[in-house]
Amino acid sequence: MIPVSPGAKVIVLDAKDSFTMQRQFQGAWRALYPGVLEYVALSDGGLVTSVDVASRTVVTDFDKYNPAVANIIPQQRAGRIAEIAGVADRKGSLNAGKDADIVLLETAPRLEVRMTLSRGQVVYDSTRS
């Protein structure tokens, strides 16, 4: 587990209402980082509408946040190769109903594979080895 500073909080503002394996991810977050991670879905105000770098303010439809650190990740879509191959409807993004191949890494104190998911199924979990 990565050490977390007392009082620190991670807020995930999501432009979607759900994502692949959401229940499993949120269960892991609660187990590993209780009270640290807050997930705000689209319908709860998770859509980032603007960012003011000078005032360190992230604005959503319903709220404003002033994080110490912010990582803004734009909505993802399938790459051109997935579109050309005709598989963009099931590959290329993390959305409900799509195939997902994900590797979760932990970087402290050293780089370590924590979990691997393929086609929506856990194929490796370091806590179960």
pLDDT in tens, 59-95: 998 899 998 888 877 666 666 777 788 877 777 666 6
Query: Whole-structure pTM over 0.75, yes or no?
Result: no
Pairing of strands 112-118, 101-106: antiparallel
Domain ranges for the chain, please list them: 7-72, 99-129
Contact predicate 59/50, CB 8 Å: yes
Distance separating alpha carbons of residues 77 and 95, to the nearest angstrom:
10
Q: What pairing do the DSSP bridges indicate for beta strands 64-65 and 112-118?
A: unpaired
CATH architecture of residue range(s) 7-72 = 3-Layer(bba) Sandwich (3.50)
